[in-house]
Structure 1
Amino acid sequence: MQFLKHKAYNMRRWSIIAPAQAGSGHTTSCLSAADIMSVIFFHAMRYEVDNYSNPDNDRFILSKGHASPLLYAAWREVGVLTDEDMMTYRQVDSVLEGHPTLRFPYTEAATGALGVGLSIGVGEALSAKMAKRNFYTYVLLGDSETAEGAVWEAVQLAAYYNLDNLIAIIDCNRLGQATETMYGHRLQRYERVFSAF
């Protein structure tokens, strides 16, 4: 447990440092999800760091792409990025962009628009089932993006195809861009809505 807390602490730290040096970034969206990312990257996910293109590696999609500093901080903790790399966040020639793109080789999906990550995750999980592969696809969503219809279309398909190899996690920080989210911290509401499918 202490190991995971330490990783989350370091991810929070770099989620502040990188955007601060860049002069922009969505720090609060990173801070609220650091513990979640620590558990995903250092406890739940199975992957070979040195062979990340291994088709049996678990996948991770950051659907709330504006929290990209947290994604990069996680990969820093894994050991594929250095402190110097982190300081290039949002520079013109850097692969560490404001939203994850495929220029960064450990990005599973480019997620600039909210609501698309889970649909991509459904596609990956369905392809794994069809190809009889054993990997899991983890998708981290923000609670605000659950207002997007595409999220619920993806949930419906995941239920229809019984995608038990897809793990969707919602960061319930109750913060939207301009106001609080519809359900706030009422996790039971999210549970009821997802269970309806």
Structure 2
Amino acid sequence: MDIAKLERLAREIRLRDLKAVFDAGAGHIGGEMSVIDILTALYFRVLKVWPEQPKHPERDRFVLSKGHTACALYVTLAKKGFIPEEEIATFLKPHSRLNGHPNCNKVPGVETNTGPLGHGLPVAVGMAKAAKLSGASYRTYVVTGDGEMQEGSNWEAIMAAAQFKLDNLTLIIDHNRFQQGASLSDTNALAPLRPKLEAFGWEVTEINGNEMKEVVSALEHRTSRPHGIVAHTNKGHGISFMQDRVDWHHKVPSKEQYEVAVAELSEAL
């Protein structure tokens, strides 16, 4: 899929995500808006996956470590054909398999359960190492939040990936500068992230994570080392009153705010 089509699809995913969160009365819309360009590029340009065979042994692996943004993943999986698009309407409803965090036992296309932050990258390192041990050709991609990078388990995994020379592993950090309740700089000022990853032996690409051309170029880059992508994004991207506002980590728009957001996202279509 070319860049223009990916950009349009990302806007459609944002609109559907917005409606799902509004209808459910819950969600993590700020971080969902920031990560959607990355998810769109992965599933519609980069990942080697087959929705009709979600457990195909040669599939690429993707782990959404920031599992609280599950709704964005569900909408993307639905657009790709892993689950019916009409099922998005069941998000967070009783007995729905579309819970607030992804469940690999319920949702086709989800590789591992995520939610407790700091778990996804270690699991992804294991997947990439398994491919090396078995001679498999699949690649592993993982998205973390920047606040999540405060977890020590991530840095242990980063050390291990360098030690094992996992050139089949790509980490994308959704660097939207905010986490629950505060900015990253006020909580634990990890930035700049690039020199820290490089110090552990990773090759690092720094991009605008809401600019599709840059996202695609970085995801398609190949290196002889583990690859880290520091994706500078905007929390609440695409919706003016949400953008770069910490209170939109898991706030739900009112009816009036919802209508404004729909109008802004639709205008770009």
TM-score range, shorter chain: over 0.9
Deviation track 1:50-96 (CA, whole Å, cap 9, x = no partner) reads: 21211110011000000001100111110233332000001121111
Which of 62, 79, 82 aligns to 2:81? It is: 79
Which of 114, 122, 125 aligns to 1:119? It is: 122
Q: Write the mapping of 1:1-197 to structure 2, written as runs, cut at 5 A.
A: 1-102=3-104, 103-182=106-185, 189-197=192-200
Superposition TM-score, scaled by structure 2 size: 0.70
**Following TM superposition, by how much is the alpha carbon of 1:187 offset from its aligned partner in structure 2, in angstroms?**
10
Q: Secondary structure at 1:49's aligned position in 2?
A: coil
Q: Secondary structure at 1:168's aligned position in 2?
A: strand
> Segments of 4+ in structure 1 off by > 3 A?
none
* Contact 2:75-2:85 within 8 A present in 1 as well: no
Count of residue pairs the alignment pairs up: 196
Q: Secondary structure at 2:179's aligned position in 1?
A: coil
The higher radius of gyration belongs to: 2
**CA RMSD between the two structures:** 1.8
Q: Which amino acid aligns with 1:17?
A: K
* Contact 1:183-1:189 within 8 A present in 2 as well: no
Q: Secondary structure at 1:140's aligned position in 2?
A: strand
Q: Which amino acid aligns with 2:108?
A: P
Q: Per residue, is there more strand in 1 or in 2?
A: 2
Structure 1 gaps, min length 5 = none
**Following TM superposition, by how much is the alpha carbon of 1:14 offset from its aligned partner in structure 2, in angstroms?**
1.8
Superposition TM-score, scaled by structure 1 size: 0.94
Seen in structure 2, the aligned counterparts of structure 1 residues 10 and 81 have a Cα distance that, compared at 3 Å, is: farther
* Contact 1:141-1:168 within 8 A present in 2 as well: yes
Structure 2 gaps, min length 5 = 201-269
Q: Secondary structure at 2:172's aligned position in 1?
A: strand
Structure having greater relative contact order (Cα 8 Å, sep ≥ 6): 2
* Contact 2:32-2:69 within 8 A present in 1 as well: yes
